[in-house]
Amino acid sequence: MRSEYKVSEPKGSINITDLGMVFKSRDVTNVALQTTNLSISPGEFVCILGPSGCGKSTLLNVIAGFLKASEGQALLDGELIQEPGPERSMVFQHHSLLPWKTVGENIEMGPRLTGDLEVEQTVSYFLDMVGLSAYRDHYPEQLSGGMQQRVGIARALATNPRVLLMDEPFGALDYQTRLVMQENLLSLWDEFKSTVVFITHDVDEAIFLSDRILVMSSAPGCIIRDIKNPLKRPRDQLISSDPIFIKLKRECLELIRAQSMTKLNIKADHQRPEIKP
């Protein structure tokens, strides 16, 4: 095992100040993100929950450097984020592996770009970490969805990023695979201690994984609640019966329900109208 990949000190602080995002096309102005302020400490695992279209991916894409904010700024370790960089890796809902390259070739692209002098060992190390050493010469289409996502995670980690950005990475997986992937991710994170910003629609997933949960309002989104997750680590799926888990789940579900009601223009205390004969 390559000891230099282990980092004793957490890394990757994110500071977002007065960030706003407006998409403008010829006739349409779409406010995707209201003024947002946020600080994430190095090594923190932060999950973002919120209704569809509230700006979760937009926020992540600004941190990744794929989008330039209309207002405000995002800093990584004190430096202004202006473009994508190898210190921030992204994992998407659907794998973005190159279909004409093998698993090994997909993983080695990042380390080659960053000038890694031991690309072979790097690829072996990360394939081993995600349990796919036997699939190095396979093509993505020869793997299951869960295996493809594991290759995506290995590829994202192979550049030794300070921040791992994950946009519903397990959203397309079946329930059982998803649980295994969550545990797998926590053990990888335990080793790397990179900062993780993880978007999900799944409240259980957010509670199981996070140190902190950010709940966003319906569109145009802003952060309406910043919830500290006091559950102890290491965790396994049995933690879902812990009273703290149940309390957190209720709090998140109530917030999300209220936001969904607002979005659908339904009052939370809506009563059926009395039907007169």
Pick one of 36, 57, 195, 217: the residue that binds ligand ATP (CB under 6 A). 57
Task: Find the helix or strand (DSSP H, E) in which 206 lies.
Answer: helix 203-209
Residues in the chain: 277
Task: Find the helix or strand (DSSP H, E) in which 260 lies.
Answer: helix 243-264
Report yes or no: 10 and 163 within 8 Å, Cβ to Cβ: no
| Angle CA 188–190–194, to nearest 5 | 80
Binding residues for Mg ion restricted to 5-64, rule: CB under 5 A = 57
When asked if residue 222 is in the footprint of ligand ATP (CB under 6 A), the reply is no
Which residue, 32 or 163, is less far from Mg ion as judged by CB?
32
Quick one: CA dihedral 157, 158, 161, 167, positive or negative? negative
Spatial strand order in the sheet of 212-216 = 88-91, 163-167, 195-199, 45-49, 212-216, 223-228
Which residue, 103 or 255, is less far from ligand ATP as judged by CB?
255
Instruction: Copy the structure tokens of residue 15.
Output: 């500071």
Which residue, 36 or 57, is less far from Mg ion as judged by CB?
57
When asked if residue 209 is in the footprint of ligand ATP (CB under 6 A), the reply is no
Nearest residue to 41 (alpha-carbon basis) of 208, 162, 188: 162
Q: How far is the CB of 42 from ligand ATP (least distance, A)?
A: 25
d(CA 88, CA 72): 20
When asked if residue 214 is in the footprint of ligand ATP (CB under 6 A), the reply is no
Pick one of 56, 88, 95, 235: the residue that binds ligand ATP (CB under 6 A). 56
Q: Which residue is nearest to Mg ion (CB)?
A: 57
Q: Which does 23 bind (CB under 5 to 8 A by kind): Mg ion, ligand ATP, none?
A: ligand ATP
Number of residues that bind ligand ATP (CB under 6 A): 12
Binding residues for ligand ATP restricted to 99-128, rule: CB under 6 A = none
Pick one of 39, 41, 52, 237: the residue that binds ligand ATP (CB under 6 A). 52
Q: How far is the CB of 260 from ligand ATP (least distance, A)?
A: 12
When asked if residue 19 is in the footprint of ligand ATP (CB under 6 A), the reply is no
Pick one of 32, 181, 196, 197: the residue that binds ligand ATP (CB under 6 A). 32
Instruction: Copy the structure tokens of residue 4.
Output: 């230099």
Instruction: Kindly report each contact of residues 138-145 with a partner whose C-beta sits within 8 Å and lies 24 or more positions away, as own/partner.
Output: 138/102, 138/103, 139/99, 139/100, 139/101, 139/102, 139/103, 140/95, 140/97, 140/98, 140/99, 140/103, 140/106, 141/99, 143/103, 144/177, 145/95, 145/172, 145/173, 145/177
Q: How far is the CB of 31 from ligand ATP (least distance, A)?
A: 8
Which residue, 20 or 53, is less far from ligand ATP as judged by CB?
53
Using the contact rule CB under 6 A, the part of the chain among 54-62, 118-126, 133-141, 230-238 near ligand ATP is 54-62
User: Alpha-carbon dihedral of residues 187, 193, 198, 203, nearest 10 degrees?
Assistant: 50
Q: How far is the CB of 237 from ligand ATP (least distance, A)?
A: 24
When asked if residue 72 is in the footprint of ligand ATP (CB under 6 A), the reply is no
**Binding site residues, ligand ATP, CB under 6 A:** 23, 30, 32, 50, 52-58, 219
